[in-house]
Structure 1
């Protein structure tokens, strides 16, 4: 659980609304730092880092939400969700090309079907990236100013915030317990492998992981260190499972199965 160099210094007696302002400001700075490289180069790692920054910001909003006025909380949730969704399609294609099509082509470099799939995937990925960049460019005009305005007027927000009289330490422990309870319920729903349930479990696990990382200074290490380690391990396993589900969906989008001859050989790694 290495802290980010720019993470704010939280104290156990910090009020939750004030903690939100500090954490959210750091989150917006990370998002801003990730946006510039995306506009000037096409590197999948840049997008990956932006998505991490967005997950961290959304985890902060979830964790501190009960201490915020409903209007501001709902705006942060909505705007960050919209931004995250704008990046998801491109990231899916990047992972598909790197982890499914790339290894398959290394095994069968002369396979014409694989070559056609790769071309189709790259075309769809590039089209999705153009749409994403347009959304990200618009983000800087709106809603980014509204989010910064919320932070600039935090004193006023804190006066109206529900539950702001609580100490951050007790508030944070309650939110972690809430996250664990939700995660257990989602894990039960995902036992039979339903794709939507597995995805929901993975997202909730990531969210709890980032909540623990953000609030680590005010949480008991003996409790959160072991939980964090377990979440990271489970996240890797669920990530492989979800990536496989997405790869099958994208492969189906690229393939026109009816156009393939009946005696066509199976695709490497497509089973």
Structure 2
């Protein structure tokens, strides 16, 4: 396994001298001069294609600059599109090509023997140089046995402020040379590329996509509450993916993914709830009573609580704990620890968003002890069809008498709608036509209307934190509670209509 970490040039110097690494070093460390030059055409053709041409020690490689159609997981080196001994040996390059930016420095190499095996540590430290600017830069690369790579990465992250790279060293250099601002590696709902057509490659791509999205939005907290919302959604999609794919793998194989996702989810929920309450729920109520000072005082108290949560979240996202958590998750996604399949199965776990164990009934059973496990090359489409069918049936049967459901039952329908939508988004690229888009659109409308009801339940818990009906905001709490109850009743016919329209469509996967 190869694994990359981003680090400042100043901090990189301390890495080879860390006592735990020195104690397990095998042989003498080596150092070598390095020089890499990146090329592009004057009109930035390669940049427009998400690629860059790099020359290092006479070897020429066309590499990805940001993810394209191939699978490129967080923490993994940039994919090589083509390589040769000279520029002429690479076809379909734009012309003319000229140097754009260079990296010059030294690479320290050392081998370490850890409990998990052997790992080679490479620390590249130097300067990115363009025509008009330069800046120090560094990268860490670990290669070797999977368990040893993990052990070394966490050992380094516990002592030095390293993190998962949000862009390649090449992208940093091109940004320095041109002023180009790298966008997110990936964002939004995951979409499967053509190269992800087995259950293991699909899950790896989905999880890597969502970790990329999470990391991108940690850099955008100063742009409003949308960043927290998108981080929370990314984590929820990832937890749903683990739940969705779990029956396709050996019993317990995906359990290691659940713990870091659960820890992440716990950090975003309360902050997002206060954002919605102060940014959407309360403004709608105050618009009907604009001069009510008691509502204004409640809103001020709620906003103070919201800012407290944001401050705590900002601090945590900049902490060592967050860096360790995301490094562990990236290693898990890229590793082979969860890829041994049990016999193919299509049963799903229970409704638990976190992917609870549920029942083994209908699940693919593992091989007998000592027997060989099947490879993780099962085709994805049959598995996706079975999962979509089961989630669709579960959702449509749960709301047959929509008008008679109470609020907790409607909340359960909302969760099933969300889980069904996440599955449809993950597998949409497997099916042709407009069916997937229409299905997701109608499901989103239903989920949105059900979500307004959930906002009322969330508001009640937040109001309790502010003292509830018996506290100093008692009057305002009563106004908000009454408003939310009235809105819930008004929404019921619209929820029933959205559900009926969703149920009328034929499943596009069958």
- TM-score normalised according to structure 1 size: 0.80
CA contact (8 A) 1:6 1:26 kept: yes
Taking the aligned partners of 1:78 and 1:70, their CA distance within structure 2 comes to 16
SS of the residue aligned with 2:219?
helix
SS of the residue aligned with 1:267?
helix
Match of 1:112 in 2: 293
Match of 1:30 among 203, 210, 213: 213
Match of 2:406 among 188, 193, 196: 193
Match of 1:243 in 2: 455
Match of 2:262 in 1: 81
Structure with greater helix percent: 1
What are structure 1's unaligned runs of at least 5 residues? Answer: none
The offset of 1:58, in angstroms, is 2.4
Q: Greater relative contact order: 1 or 2 (C-alpha under 8 angstroms, separation 6 or more)?
A: 1
User: Which deviates more, 123-132 or 223-232?
Assistant: 223-232
CA contact (8 A) 2:388 2:423 kept: yes
From the CA coordinates, give the structure whose radius of gyration is larger.
2
CA contact (8 A) 1:86 1:132 kept: yes
User: Which deviates more, 246-255 or 173-182?
Assistant: 246-255
- CA deviations on 1:178-231 (whole Å, 9 max, x unpaired) are 222332455469852233x33332222112212211211213546544432331
The offset of 1:263, in angstroms, is 9.7
SS of the residue aligned with 1:143?
helix
Please tell me whether residue 166 in structure 1 is matched to residue 347 in structure 2: no
| Paired residue total | 263
* Inter-CA distance 54–260: structure 2 relative to 1 (3 Å threshold): closer
Q: How does 1:1-271 map to 2 (within 5 A)?
A: 7-10=191-194, 14-38=197-221, 41=222, 43-138=224-319, 140-154=322-336, 157-158=338-339, 160-162=340-342, 163=344, 164-184=376-396, 186-187=398-399, 191-195=404-408, 197-219=409-431, 221=433, 224-254=436-466, 257-258=469-470, 267=479, 270-271=482-483
User: Which deviates more, 21-30 or 56-65?
Assistant: 56-65
* Inter-CA distance 108–122: structure 2 relative to 1 (3 Å threshold): same
SS of the residue aligned with 2:298?
helix
SS of the residue aligned with 2:378?
coil
What are structure 2's unaligned runs of at least 5 residues? Answer: 1-186, 345-375, 484-510
